[in-house]
Chains A and B, each alone.
Chain A
């Protein structure tokens, strides 16, 4: 059913239909509306879940980890500093193979304090073992939660998953969204059946200790599950498309890439602006296309390579920076294209909520055509 609603509320509805049994979260801008809505649903008996109020994000994710170990489907949401506080627990969730699903409402990291959007928070957890999906609009943000549970809980994967969508730009924007119905979601997403669970009748320990003789093998297994997730995402995305008409079988999506000379690469809401800018540039005769990355972990290396190996140049829009190196997406795109001679130029853009307009996308393409890149786009020289 199509409804005109705020992104956060659309996500809260999707989460409700996923029937989480335990929710633990700590409110933080711009994630607040999601967890407020879920708390309301639980308080009003519209959602049969345990809602644990906690004193920090560290506790929130720890509660989720414990509840997941006890065999529950769990949910949390956070952003920025909250995610930073969860750092240790994030690695534990992945290491213990707990299929926790968490919304990351992307926001910049301090200092200086910024409540506005970029993708530094989730990108900084790229090595933690969590699957990372990025949404372009609120429909996708909603749908990716169904997909995330389906993939995370797959018996061959059992990894936690971030569903990332841009703070304010998506979370606080009203758009028409098809939230599906409970019956539809139940058909797509059956109840979670844990492989192992904490049970006082049949005690088990999780993630206790590994000597140097075993630790590397555990890390290998997580990495293998990440790589195997590519196929599971593709299958789950296809099934979603067959049931509801929106196909997510591809981890990357090309837009007007077929004959493109210059390919932009981006993740999240900036893709919408880029598509509009591309349409305008195409009308002016510029052969520009976009590769939208929906999945950052696992990194879709083969898909990126096959989508981009025919273009003359690649311009990556990075809403993050690995300080002292480059944007995280550009580094990995470069790796995927190693040996192809396709130049990859990096543009650090839109950090801390700096607005990106169509003219900025056009500006990036013009720079890329001149071979000028690997820079912060739109720096205000007058304040430096």
Chain B
């Protein structure tokens, strides 16, 4: 990403900032336990949990900061935090 003079930026520039690199722990989704209730995507402060063709939640690890809220809120304990291997 080339710098804009004086940190000037057009809308959408924050997308280029891959905040996923800040993560220490990564949420891993176990679809075999998931009921597709959608709670994880509701509480995700980054709004980075989408869904796959079958309707199961899929996080975008480019932007997931690893806050762990989805893990706390998941009623089915279908998400676990794992230490990020870098």
Contact = CB atoms under 8 A, between A and B. Distances in A.
Interface of A: 95-98, 158, 195-196, 203-211, 214, 217-218, 221
A195 B5 contact: yes
The prevalent SS among residues of B at the interface is: loop
B9 A96 contact: no
A196 B9 CA distance: 10
A247 B5 CA distance: 31
A74 to B, nearest CB: 15
B48 to A, nearest CB: 17
Nearest to B5: A97
Contacts of B8: 96-97, 196, 204-207
Given A196-B8, A211-B17, 11 more contacts: A95-B6, A95-B7, A96-B6, A203-B11, A205-B11, A207-B8, A208-B7, A209-B7, A214-B1, A214-B3, A218-B7
Interface string B1-45: 101111111110100010000000000000000000000000000
Contact of B6 (A98, A203, A217): A98
A158 B3 contact: no
Q: Name A's interface SS.
A: loop
**Max count, chain A CB within 10 A of own CB: residue among B1, B3, B4:** B4
Nearest to B19: A211
Interface string B47-59: 0000000000000
A217 B13 CA distance: 17
Contact of A204 (B1, B3, B9): B9
Nearest to B13: A205
Contacts of A208: 7, 9
Nearest to A222: B6
Interface residues of B, number: 12
A158 to B, nearest CB: 7
B63 to A, nearest CB: 13
Contact of A206 (B1, B7, B17): B7
A95 B17 CA distance: 20
15 contacts: A95-B7, A96-B8, A97-B6, A158-B5, A196-B6, A196-B8, A204-B9, A206-B9, A207-B7, A208-B7, A208-B9, A211-B17, A214-B1, A214-B3, A221-B5
A209 B1 CA distance: 14
B9 to A, nearest CB: 5
B10 A206 contact: no
Nearest to A158: B5
B9 A205 contact: yes
A204 B11 CA distance: 6
A196 B3 CA distance: 14
Contacts of A210: 7
B6 A206 contact: yes
Nearest to A92: B6
B51 to A, nearest CB: 29
A208 B10 CA distance: 11
A221 B8 CA distance: 13
Nearest to A218: B7
A96 B7 contact: yes
B64 to A, nearest CB: 16
